[in-house]
Amino acid sequence: MDIVKNKCKNCGGELIYDAESQELKCIQCDSIVDIPEQNTTIQKKQYHKDSTIQLSETEYTQYTCGTCGRRHIAPKNQDIVNCPTCGDSNLEKNITVEYLPDGIIPFKLNQEKALLCFKDWLKKRKFAPNNLKKLAKTQSLKGIYLPIYDYDFDTSTTYSGVGINEYKDSDGKRHTSRHPFRGNRNDFFEDYVESANTEINSPDLRDMANYNYKNIYVYRPEFLYGWIGSNINISLHDSCVRARNAVANKISSDIKNSMHYDRIENFVCNTTFNAIKYSYLYIPVWINHYKYKDKNYNCYINGITGKVSGKAPKSFWKIFFTTIAVIAVIGAIVFLAYKYSA
């Protein structure tokens, strides 16, 4: 693979990946350098017990934060001064060989637009404290390529159980009817994603990661110029076990929810995975780890669409006065109903 040097030919300035143009841009003279080998179709690999992630031949610098323990990587010639997770400068630096992603989805959302998405998200948190807006600063947002495993699952499921319905007859006597059932179904799950790094948990990842997995670029280190890439700390095999358990639980829940019984007893559900395919990808995420009144909160912003996932603190007084208002309205309705029915 030919690697574009991250020095501008015109002025010698540093080249960084520019999210808006999706090319390399000089930080001094704004010159644009094309990144070759654009989007492609990634062919997922068949998963088996000996599956491994390919090692990269390109040297990267790995940083370990002595404060929060997080690890991050960057191209060898790009220094990280502060930890992207906690902001501390207590970083240990060493050279490592990183895993080579099968593909990458480059950033399209720059920091300013990501900040607007975060502000809009805060506005929609009805019970968020009013002074939370002070946290909406560009300095708090870090653009990171997070590693994920992207799975396709082909499944077969058999299930059985007893549906219970309860009813009263015209005399008010309670009766119970039992309805044994059994069945089978086949499901295909495409682009079911699991986190490859504990920086983000898989439910938050799936909530935020509505990416177009049909438009993936060939991985090139140029996409990391000026950005941060997190490495794997969740193995492929551990991830696959978690993904299969989550898929099996989803199928079981879907089956139960499709039945119209008062309750279900002796439910047994077995899912077989007939084929598993996977790829290892880098996806773009804007991360805001912030603290409010000594409590930590996480916010994740899709680096393509701007979709936000996370939790915000809630104001006790907003909840209190809203509750009082609701009680007052209900009390007024009850009073009027009683007054006019008397």
**Given pLDDT bands bounded at 50, 70 and 90, which one contains residue 283?**
very high
Q: Are residues 31 and 108 in the same domain?
A: no
CATH of the domain at 75: 2.20.28.10
Residue 308 contacts by C-beta under 8 Å, 6 or more apart in sequence? 117, 118, 121, 208, 299, 300, 301, 302
Q: Are residues 122 and 160 in the same domain?
A: yes
Q: Are residues 118 and 2 in the same domain?
A: no
Q: pLDDT by residue (tens digit) across 218-244?
A: 888 888 888 888 888 899 999 999 999
- pLDDT at position 137, please? 58
Instruction: Return the residue matching tokens 């409010």.
Output: 292
Contact status, residue 114 vs residue 141, Cβ threshold 8 Å: yes
Q: Are residues 142 and 81 in the same domain?
A: no
Range of the domain at 27: 1-36
Task: Look at residue 323 and tell me if it is in a domain.
Answer: no
Average confidence score pLDDT of the chain? 84
Q: Are residues 18 and 81 in the same domain?
A: no
Q: Are residues 182 and 293 in the same domain?
A: yes
Count how many domains the chain has.
3
Task: Look at residue 318 and tell me if it is in a domain.
Answer: no
Q: Which of 46, 75, 99 is the last residue of a domain?
A: 99
**Given pLDDT bands bounded at 50, 70 and 90, which one contains residue 254?**
very high
Q: Are residues 81 and 148 in the same domain?
A: no
Task: Look at residue 339 and tell me if it is in a domain.
Answer: no
pLDDT at 3 over 50: no
Task: Look at residue 29 and tell me if it is in a domain.
Answer: yes
- Per-residue pLDDT averaged across 269-290, rounded? 92
Q: Are residues 84 and 94 in the same domain?
A: yes
Task: Look at residue 332 and tell me if it is in a domain.
Answer: no
- pLDDT at position 2, please? 40
Q: Are residues 178 and 257 in the same domain?
A: yes
- pLDDT at position 1, please? 36
Q: Which of 99, 116, 133 is the last residue of a domain?
A: 99
Task: Look at residue 154 and tell me if it is in a domain.
Answer: yes
Residue type, 197: N
Q: Are residues 153 and 277 in the same domain?
A: yes
Q: Are residues 84 and 108 in the same domain?
A: no
Both structure tokens of 169: 């007859």
Task: Look at residue 165 and tell me if it is in a domain.
Answer: yes
- pLDDT at position 304, please? 93
Q: pLDDT by residue (tens digit) across 41-89?
A: 788 999 998 998 888 777 777 788 888 777 777 777 677 777 776 778 8
HEC secondary structure over the chain: CCCCCCECCCCCCEEEEECCCCEEEECCCCCEECCCCCEECCCCEECCCCCCCCEEEEEEEEEEECCCCCEEEEECCCCCCCCCCCCCCCEEEEEEEEECCCEECCCCCCHHHHHHHHHHHHHCCCCCCHHHHHHCCHHHCEEEEEEEEEEEEEEEEEEEEEEEEEEECCCCCEEEEEEEEEEEEEEEEEEEEEECCCCCCHHHHHHHCCCCCCCEECCCHHHHCCCEECCCCCCHHHHHHHHHHHHHHHHHHHHHHCCCCCEEEEEEEEEEEEEEEEEEEEEEEEEEEEEECCEEEEEEEECCCCCEEECCCCCHHHHHHHHHHHHHHHHHHHHHHHHHHC
What whole-number distance in Å separates Cα of residue 247 and Cα of residue 267?
Answer: 17
Q: Are residues 76 and 116 in the same domain?
A: no
What sign results for the dihedral spanned by CA atoms 247, 252, 257, 258? positive
Q: pLDDT by residue (tens digit) across 138-184?
A: 557 888 899 999 999 999 999 999 999 998 887 778 888 999 999 99
Task: Look at residue 340 and tell me if it is in a domain.
Answer: no
